[in-house]
Structure 1
């Protein structure tokens, strides 16, 4: 990820994940695929594609923009 305006505010080291999967998926009974880790708070959420867009829902309710892939072997960051 190229540095964004939010990168300077990220905790170092990264936060401990709050769980191993998307809690919204578990509650809704949907498949927790393409997970993302919020780098401000440790929330794990399902990526937007395919829906139901749990990662975006968390961003909209908290304003925490930066995340990275939470899939094994992946470390891409996004804002």
Structure 2
């Protein structure tokens, strides 16, 4: 099993300000998670796409950090535990003015009916 330290590269910037796959497909997300190893930004498991978990499953990159303003918690999918990671390269969150869910203009009116519990 890889250690959390093996799963973090603090020098890598995030892939963008929104979920990488949702941006490509014109989708939307609830909250964002950032891969601590490669910087991939994916949507949380409540979001329709669940792209952060899919990224872990496809790459084995186990550690994510919240990409929400004011949050610095991190999670190790492989061990199912919270972990502490060093400060990652900026920016460390989505833009403060970005809507939740987001992005504006792509969130359906009935968005709550599409959430994963």
Tell me the equivalent position of 2:42: 45
Give matches, 1:1-79, under 5 Å: 6-9=3-6, 10-11=8-9, 13-79=10-76
> What's the RMSD between the two structures over aligned residues?
1.8
Q: TM-score by structure 1 length?
A: 0.81
- Equivalences, count: 75
Q: Distance in 2 between matches of 1:61 and 1:32?
A: 19
Q: Distance in 1 between matches of 2:46 and 2:11?
A: 24
In structure 2, do the counterparts of structure 1 residues 58 and 36 end up closer, same or farther at CA, with 3 Å as the change threshold? same
* Structure 1 residue 60: Cα displacement: 1.2
Gaps of 5+ in 2: 77-117
In structure 2, do the counterparts of structure 1 residues 56 and 68 end up closer, same or farther at CA, with 3 Å as the change threshold? same
**Runs of 4+ more than 6 Å apart:** none
Q: Report the 3-state secondary structure (helix = DSSP H, G, I; strand = E; otherwise coil) of the residue aligned with 1:68.
A: strand
In structure 2, do the counterparts of structure 1 residues 6 and 14 end up closer, same or farther at CA, with 3 Å as the change threshold? farther
> Which protein shows a greater Rg?
2
